[in-house]
Amino acid sequence: MTQPPVPGRGAGAEPAPGAGLPGGAAGRRSDRDARLAAFAQGGPGDSRPPNSALAETLEELSGPGWRCDGATDDELIGLLGRWQALESWAAAGKLGVLRELIRRRARPGIRGQDIPAHGDLPDAWEEGLDHEISAALAISLPAADKLVGLAWDLQARLPGVGAKLADGTIDLLKARIIADELSVLDDEQAALAEKLILGELAGKTPGQVGRLAAQAECTVDPDGARKRRERAERDEARVRFWRDHGGAAALAGYGLPTDAALAAHASVNARAEEYKAAGAGPGATMDQLRVLAYLDLLNSVSAAARIARAAGAGAAQSGGDPETSQPPGPADSENPRYGGPGGPGDGGPRDGDGGGPHGGGPGDAAGGSVPALAARVNLTVPLATLLGLGDRPGAGHGLGPLDPDLARDLAATAAGSPHSQWCVTMTDSSGVTIAHGCARPARNRANTPPPRNRDGPWAFTPGDGPGPPGGYGTWVLTLPGGRELTVKLGPVPVTGCDHRHESHGYQPGDTLRHLVEVRDGECTFPTCSRHARGCDFEHAIPHDQGGRTCACNGGARSRKCHRVKQSRGWTVTQPRPGWHRWTTPAGRSYTQGPMQYQV
Ligand SMILES: [Zn+2]
Ligand SMILES: [Zn+2]
Ligand SMILES: [Zn+2]
C-alpha cells in the first residue's frame, strides 16, 4: 500500500513532545474542530460506520497534508482507524459492482436450461470477465480471477463476512483469507463456519483471522484440512521463476506433496553440510551453501564435481596464477545452457503471472537505432554492451533488467554452447523492433574451430556484398572465440507493411511467425505476459472473412486470450501493424503496442 504524500513535512514541524496528552499544547488549541472529540477512544466517531458522510468528515478533519490540526494523539488514532474502515467500505463497493458484472456476464444456459445460481448470482460466467477486470484494474489475469471469485463468495456463500467488510470490521485481505480457508466446505458447512467466527473477528490480525477460520473449518468438517491440502497439491502445483528484489533470481515450487518436499528439503540440507565439511565454500554461510546445493541438485551437478571444482579454484586463488584464474573449461558443461532450445532456460512464466518487468524502460535514446542482440530463448543484450561500447542493461523474459556485467556473462555462456541460437533485433530509440535477422553459420567458414576463449571480443561487422533490395544488408556476428555467423537484417512491420512475408493460406510461414513473435514479444492482451513463443499466431480479422495471413493482421495470443477474443462481444483490430486494439463487451478498448526492448 502506498502512503499518500505528505507535502511540506519536515523535522522542524513535528508536534512538540507531550502534544495530545491531557493538557498538551495541541489539545488546548481554541481553533480546533469540535468534531474531533468524537474520535477519541470510545467516542461515537471511533466506531462510526464507514460511508460517504464519514469520508467527507475525515477529509475535512485531516486537512491539507493530513496534518489533522488540533487533534490529540488519541483522536489521531481514531481518525486512522476510520480511514481504514473507509478502505474496507470502498473494497466492499468494488466487489459489489463486480457482482453486477457477474450477473451481466452470466454464461448462457445450454438449450434454454437455466444455469445454477445462488440467489441472484449465477454460478458460471463468461471467461472473458477476468480479461475485462484485469485490463480495467491493471491487475494480472490470475489476480482478476481471484477478485471475481471473492466477490461471488462474499455474497453467495459468506454474506456475513461480506457485511463485516462493508462495515469496516475486517479489511479485504482478511475477507480473502477467510474465503480461502473455507473454500473446501460445501455451502451448508461454510454457513456454519461463518457463524462460528463472525463475532470474533474484530481486532484480530490476518494471521489470527486465518487461525480462527481454520479452526472453524475443522469443527464443521474434520476432513477439511486434508481436502484443502489435496486440492492445493492439485491446483497450486507450479514452479515459478522470477527476478527478486535486488536483481537476483528466485526459483520456487508450490503445491508440493508434503512428504516429497520434506525429503527434498532434507537433501538440500545434507548436500550443504557435505559442502561445508569438504570446505567447498570457504567463507560461505550455511544459507549460501544451501542455495548452491539446491541449484546443484537441480542441475545434476554431483557433490564430487562441486567439491573438486572448489578445490581447484582454491588452488588457483592461492597460487595466483593468471593462467588458471580464467574461468575453467569444465564449468561450461555444468552451467545451464542459457541459449539452448529446450534448455533449462526455456520456461516462461505462466500466463499472465510471474513475469517481472520486461524491457520497456524508457531508456535514454542516446544511440539512436541501437541493435539489440537476443539469445533466442530468454536473453536480450544490447549489442553496444557486448561490444564494449556502452553499459546498457540486458533483459531476460521473466527476469527483468539484467545489469550489464551479468548480461555480458550470460551472453558469453550462451556463446560457449553450440545449441545457442542468435538473433539480431534492431530497435528504434524507444526500443520498438524495426529490423531483425536470425544468425546462421557462415557457409564459407564451416570449419571454424570451436570457441576457446569465452571472454574474447564480440564483433558485428558488415558482411560481403550488398544486402537484398529493401533489406538492411548482411552482417557478420562474431562470437567470443571466433565463431562467425551471418545475419541478414530485414524490416519488421510496425508502422507499415509491404506484405513481404504474407502467406496465402491460413497458416503463417516460419519467418512470418518468428517476426511477429519478435515484434509482439508477449501475448498482445495488455495484461497478459505469456511469452510470444508460447502463443498462437492469430488473425485479427479472421482468415475466412478476408483477413490476411500477414504481420499486419497477425498477432501473438495466448491460448486463453485467443479463446476470449473469439467469444461474444470481443473484437481485436490492428490500427497499425503491431498495434493491437482490444474492444471488450462493455465497449471499452485497450491498445497494446509492439514489445519495447531495453535500449
Ligand atoms: Zn530471429
Ligand atoms: Zn501485411
Ligand atoms: Zn494472453
Residues with CB under 5 A from ligand 3 (ion): 523, 525, 528, 530, 558, 561
**Confidence at residue 145, expressed as pLDDT on a 0 to 100 scale:** 96
Cα(550) to centroid of ligand 2, in Å? 5
**Confidence at residue 392, expressed as pLDDT on a 0 to 100 scale:** 83
Cα(503) to centroid of ligand 1, in Å? 18
Length of the chain in terms of residues written? 599
Q: Mean pLDDT for the chain?
A: 81
> How many alpha carbons fall within 13 Å on the CB side of residue 302?
3
Q: How far apart are the first and last CA of the chain?
A: 31
Phi-psi region of 129 (alpha: psi -120 to 50; beta: other; left: phi over 0): alpha
Cα(351) to centroid of ligand 3, in Å? 6
Cα(325) to centroid of ligand 3, in Å? 46
Kindly report, residue by residue over 236-268, the tens digit of the pLDDT: 899 988 877 777 888 999 999 888 999 999 999
Question: For the purposes of burial, counting CB atoms within 10 Å of the CB of 330, is it exposed (0-12), middle (13-18) or buried (19 or more)?
Answer: exposed
Cα(182) to centroid of ligand 2, in Å? 53
Cα(23) to centroid of ligand 3, in Å? 62
Kindly report, residue by residue over 303-320, the tens digit of the pLDDT: 988 888 877 654 433 333
**Confidence at residue 473, expressed as pLDDT on a 0 to 100 scale:** 83
Report strand pairing: 490-491 vs 536-539.
unpaired
Report strand pairing: 379-382 vs 249-254.
unpaired
Cα(515) to centroid of ligand 1, in Å? 7
Instruction: From residue 345, give the alpha-carbon distance in Å to each of 7, 154, 239, 265, 349.
Output: 46, 41, 13, 23, 11
Distance, in Å, from the CA atom of 546 to the CA atom of 523, rounded to the nearest integer, reads: 23
Kindly report, residue by residue over 348-403, the tens digit of the pLDDT: 323 333 222 223 222 222 233 334 444 444 678 888 888 888 888 888 766 677 88
**Confidence at residue 199, expressed as pLDDT on a 0 to 100 scale:** 97
Place of cell 502463443: 535
Report the share of the chain in percent with pLDDT over 70: 79
Please compute the mean of the pLDDT values over residues 278-302 and round it to a whole number. 90
Place of cell 537476483: 248
Which of these ranges, 119-133, 447-461, 498-512, 583-597, has the smallest mean pLDDT? Answer: 447-461
Cα(521) to centroid of ligand 1, in Å? 12
Phi-psi region of 91 (alpha: psi -120 to 50; beta: other; left: phi over 0): alpha
- Which H, E and C letters describe 564-595, residue by residue? HHCCCCCEEEEEECCEEEEECCCCCEEEECCC
Nearest ligand to the CA of 513 is 1
Q: Which helix (H) or strand (E) holds 460?
A: strand 459-462
Cell output for 590: 485497450
In 3D space, the residue among 516, 357, 500 whose CA is nearest the CA of residue 433 turns out to be: 516
Nearest ligand to the CA of 525 is 3
β strands within 333-432, DSSP E: 370-375, 379-382, 394-396, 400-402, 422-427
Residue 203 CB neighbours (<10 A): 8
Cα(51) to centroid of ligand 1, in Å? 57
Distance, in Å, from the CA atom of 479 to the CA atom of 500, rounded to the nearest integer, reads: 30
Cα(541) to centroid of ligand 1, in Å? 26
pTM above 0.85, yes or no: no
Nearest ligand to the CA of 510 is 1
Query: Residue 478: pLDDT band by 50, 70, 90 thresholds?
Result: confident
Cα(531) to centroid of ligand 3, in Å? 9
Nearest ligand to the CA of 130 is 3
Residue 5 CB neighbours (<10 A): 9
Cα(556) to centroid of ligand 3, in Å? 8
- Opening angle at CA 75, ends 74 and 78, nearest 5: 95
Cα(534) to centroid of ligand 3, in Å? 10
